[in-house]
Amino acid sequence: MKRTILITGASSGIGKATALHFQARGWNVAATMRRPDDGTDLGALDNVFVTRLDVTEPASITSAVAATIDRFGEIDVLLNNAGYGAYGTLESFETERIQRQFDTNVIGLLEVTRAVLPYMRTRKSGVVVNISSIGGQMTFPLGTLYHGTKFAVEGLSESLHYELASVGIKVKIVEPGMIATDFSGRSFDFSNDPSMEEYQSVVGAFMAAMGSGATQQSAPELVAEVIWNAVTDGSDQLRYRAGDDAEALLTHRRNVDDATFIAGIKQQFGL
């Protein structure tokens, strides 16, 4: 019997690459996204079901999960991939945009997980994979909101793996580095108020660093392969790094104290 993976945010980037990766290996794929018209190419593939799911709309979560069960009979793996990055000066973000960042990256992830767990718990098996980031273990300037959500994903995932292990469900965290997706496009929400002159030096340094970092990006297919390994390796390993930069940066972060690491980031950003 074919196994089934449900993926959020499957219209592009890591989500789409993972949908293609699993489909090519004979899995059923529920490729969910806010606008199903963006997934017509995926929907043309065998054993791929494209349906609407907006992680900020509980009714769409319930509907997508039910439709997946109706189509494939079960959900063996959940990939919580949907998300975006809000960067910028905290003072320039209004409350609504702050709320949206946490609703998408944290609350939405929890709600989708909560909707899928009853099916996995009944069968006493399943894997939940949460996409974090190097930004869930370390921070860059102007990432107060984004890093806040990814640190939350790390913490909730680590805690959740204890309770779900007791019912036969595994939890995995995947931590990509810089990936060649549309993160700096439609998945990137930047805020700055130029009238706050005090912040403009750090804003300028951040934008310059973002431009230079683009040359170090890994392909989303690399992350898809790491996700595949996390799902199929049969281990209880919790964290998986994706990308040479993720490996280097997170190893460095683990091996130095706060003062040393922060000094290095300041030097990198010219602060």
The residues that are catalytic are 132, 146, 150
Exposed, middle or buried: residue 198 (CB in 10 Å: 0-12, 13-18, 19+)? exposed
Question: Facing residues of 85 across strands?
Answer: 188
Contact call for residues 153 and 174 (beta carbons, < 8 A): no
Distance, CA of 153 to CA of 150 (rounded, Å): 5
Rounded CA-CA distance 243/131 in Å is 13
Q: DSSP 3-state assignment of 124?
A: coil
- Residue 186, burial from CB neighbour count under 10 angstroms (0-12, 13-18, 19+): exposed
Give which of 246, 130, 240 is closest to 178, Cα–Cα: 246
